[in-house]
């Protein structure tokens, strides 16, 4: 059963409520954290990271939390997306720009359907660690790849110096993202010049063309009427990663001087994964930070245990603090999600409900990991149906994507099962949507947002328009 932690250790937490520190997690059992052969070297690197500037700032984190409050009410929608796992080698400036452009393009499409703001959160600038089901590869001796922050894919030698490399890599990516966002290149008035191209034969092409035409006409109308079109020289863009390798999270956890509050300054928001939801060390760490926290929930999640977990991580019942990210699979969501939503509503737990339609729909075709777009779309459709039935807003979607137009890792649209064998299958962990597939999902979500209009009124009840 999941959530062993919350069911057998509540007294331990009661006793230590006043004893939290960024390193107090080390007194608890942990999962998914590798054993470092050089503990002295590890502490040396962590000490150096503590002295380095924060990657993000408390004010930015508070702004995101306030925006998530609106998502919880149905007045906004979250697009959280990015690669499955970042690598130190994948810092090509053009690749980063394509990813940012794709996210903005997809968010505009969704915003057009919702007629509300879309909050962009990247799985980026810190997603260097990955949880794994097994400690070793099939040969029984090679360590499973746990991300570049732990070890190199080729050598698999655990090295604390890679924590420092992860910090600098994250800083580089953040600098590039902020530079692109502030460059003025992504102005809505110039959308035709910067949007990612889609082949006319691709299924989303007619929709994309119609969308751009409508946006163009709107911008021209406002301009010709003497108004000033809303400009997007600096589109808001937040960062996130899984709070997995606590040796990295710990030294980036800082106290804001003016408030005395504690923030993880390595990302605007972090999430608790399916494999660490019952890891005492991870829960101990996360209960002490002010950042919004995502909680991945699968089909076997115990509803009452999730309620207890939310109370642990959000004892003040703040709105905008907890994102419940459903990752159940297209075959299970209609059965498994309603009891969870019912329990959270019954106990008056504030939350933003989101869908991760990728992770639980992963399968192997001829030994190759892939995801079928049809299963992803079905889980999204079911998610919206559950939201409408249960009377809660659909708060967002969480995707694994790449800005590449030639990637062939997920089956659907321009990718067949045969394409999985090609050179454009390059993921080191899980398959990602290419840009055409991502835009297809964006239009699908936009159509559901437009149809259902899952927009909550201020008292939390849905209204259909």
pLDDT value of residue 392: 96
Contacts of 314 (CB under 8 A, 6+ apart): 293, 321, 322, 349, 350
- pLDDT number for residue 185: 74
The three-state DSSP-derived secondary structure of the chain is CCCHHHHHCHHHHHHCCCCCCCCHHHHCCCCCCCCCCCHHHHHHHHHHHHCCCCCCCHHHHHHHHHHHHHHHHCCEEEEEEECCCCCCCCCCHHHHHHHHHHHHHHHHHHHHHHCCEEEEEEEECCCCCCCCCCCECCCCCCECCCCCCCCCCCCCCCCCHHHHHHHHHHHHHHHHHHHHHCCCCCCHHHHHHHCCCCCCCCCCHHHHHHHHHHHHHHHHHHHHCCCCCCCCCCCCCEEEEECCCHHHHHHHEEECCCCCCEEECCCCEEEECCCCCCCHHHHHHHCCCCCCEEEEECCCCCHHHHHHHHHHHCCCCCCCCEEEEECCCCCCHHHHHHHHHHHHHHCCCCCEEEECCCHHHEEEECCEEEEEHHHHHHHHHHHHHHHHHHCCCCCEEEEEECCCCCCCCCEECCECHHHHHCCCCCCCCCCCECHHHHHHHHHHHHHHHHHHCCEECCCCCEECC
Domains and CATH numbers, the chain: 4-186+232-463 (3.20.20.70)
- Residue 341 near residue 369 (C-beta atoms within 8 A): no
The pTM of the full predicted model, rounded to 2 decimals, is 0.89
Which of 388, 379, 273, 386 lies closest to 323 in space, CA to CA? 273
Q: According to the model, what pLDDT value does residue 204 have?
A: 58
pLDDT of the residue at 344: 99
Give pLDDT, residue 94: 87
Token pair in block for residue 415? 């990718």
CA nearest 100: which of 236, 267, 293?
A: 236
Count of other CB atoms within 10 angstroms of residue 418 = 11
In angstroms and rounded to an integer, the radius of gyration of the C-alpha atoms of the chain is 22
If you search the block for the tokens 């006409």, which residue do you land on?
Answer: 217
Hey, what are 283's tokens? 């829960």
pLDDT value of residue 223: 58
Q: Report pLDDT for 140.
A: 87
Answer yes or no: are the C-beta atoms of 126 and 178 closer than 8 Å: no
Give the pLDDT of residue 65.
98
pLDDT value, residue 424: 95
Spell out the per-residue pLDDT of the chain, length 465, in tens. Answer: 333 334 434 434 443 455 999 999 999 999 999 999 999 999 999 999 999 999 999 999 999 999 999 999 999 999 999 999 999 987 788 889 899 999 999 998 898 878 889 999 999 999 999 999 888 898 988 999 999 999 999 999 999 999 999 999 999 999 999 988 877 777 766 666 666 666 555 565 566 667 666 766 665 555 555 555 554 445 589 999 999 999 999 999 999 999 999 999 999 999 999 999 999 999 999 999 999 999 999 999 999 999 999 999 999 999 999 999 999 999 999 999 999 999 999 999 999 999 999 999 999 999 999 999 999 999 999 999 999 999 999 999 999 999 898 999 999 988 999 999 999 999 989 999 999 999 999 989 998 988 766 434 333 444 443
429-446 burial, b at 16+ Cβ within 10 Å, e below that, comes to bbbbbbbbbbbbbbbbbb
């Amino acid at each position: 059963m999941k959530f062993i932690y919350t069911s057998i250790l509540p007294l331990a937490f009661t006793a230590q409520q006043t004893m939290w520190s960024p390193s107090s997690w080390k007194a608890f059992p942990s999962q998914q954290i590798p054993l470092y052969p050089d503990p002295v070297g590890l502490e040396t690197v962590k000490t150096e990271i503590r002295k380095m500037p924060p990657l993000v700032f408390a004010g930015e984190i508070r702004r995101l939390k306030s925006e998530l409050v609106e998502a919880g009410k149905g007045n906004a929608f979250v697009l959280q997306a990015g690669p499955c796992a970042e690598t130190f080698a994948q810092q090509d400036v053009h690749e980063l720009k394509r990813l940012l452009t794709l996210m903005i393009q997809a968010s505009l499409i969704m915003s057009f359907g919702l007629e509300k703001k879309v909050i962009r959160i990247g799985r980026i600038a810190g997603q260097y660690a990955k949880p794994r089901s097994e400690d070793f590869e099939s040969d029984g001796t090679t360590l499973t790849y746990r991300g570049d922050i732990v070890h190199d894919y080729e050598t698999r030698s655990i090295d604390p110096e890679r924590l420092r490399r992860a910090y600098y890599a994250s800083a580089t990516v953040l600098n590039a993202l902020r530079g692109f966002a502030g460059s003025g290149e992504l102005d809505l008035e110039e959308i035709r010049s910067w949007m990612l191209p889609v082949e006319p034969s691709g299924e989303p092409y007619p929709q994309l063309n119609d969308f751009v035409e409508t946006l163009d006409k709107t911008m021209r109308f406002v301009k010709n009427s003497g108004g000033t079109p809303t400009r997007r020289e600096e589109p808001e863009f937040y960062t996130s990663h899984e709070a997995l390798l606590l040796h990295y999270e710990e030294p980036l956890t800082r106290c804001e001087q003016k408030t005395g509050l504690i923030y993880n300054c390595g990302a605007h928001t972090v999430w608790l994964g399916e494999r660490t939801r019952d890891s005492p060390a991870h829960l101990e760490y996360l209960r002490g930070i002010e950042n919004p926290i995502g909680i991945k929930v699968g089909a076997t999640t115990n509803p009452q245990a999730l309620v207890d977990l939310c109370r642990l991580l959000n004892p003040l019942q703040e709105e905008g603090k907890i994102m419940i990210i459903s990752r159940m699979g297209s075959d299970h969501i209609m059965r498994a999600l309603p009891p969870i939503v019912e329990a959270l509503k019954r106990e008056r737990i504030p939350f933003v409900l989101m869908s991760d339609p990728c992770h639980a729909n992963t399968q192997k075709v001829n030994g190759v990991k892939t995801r079928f777009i049809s299963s992803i779309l079905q889980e999204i459709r079911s998610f919206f149906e559950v939201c409408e039935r249960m009377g809660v807003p659909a708060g967002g979607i969480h995707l694994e994507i790449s800005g590449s137009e030639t990637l062939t890792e997920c089956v659907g649209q321009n990718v067949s099962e045969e394409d999985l064998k090609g050179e454009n299958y390059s993921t080191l962990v899980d398959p990602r949507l290419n840009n055409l597939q991502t835009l297809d999902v964006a239009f699908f979500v936009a159509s559901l947002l437009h149809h259902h209009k899952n927009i909550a009124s201020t008292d939390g009840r849905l209204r259909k328009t």
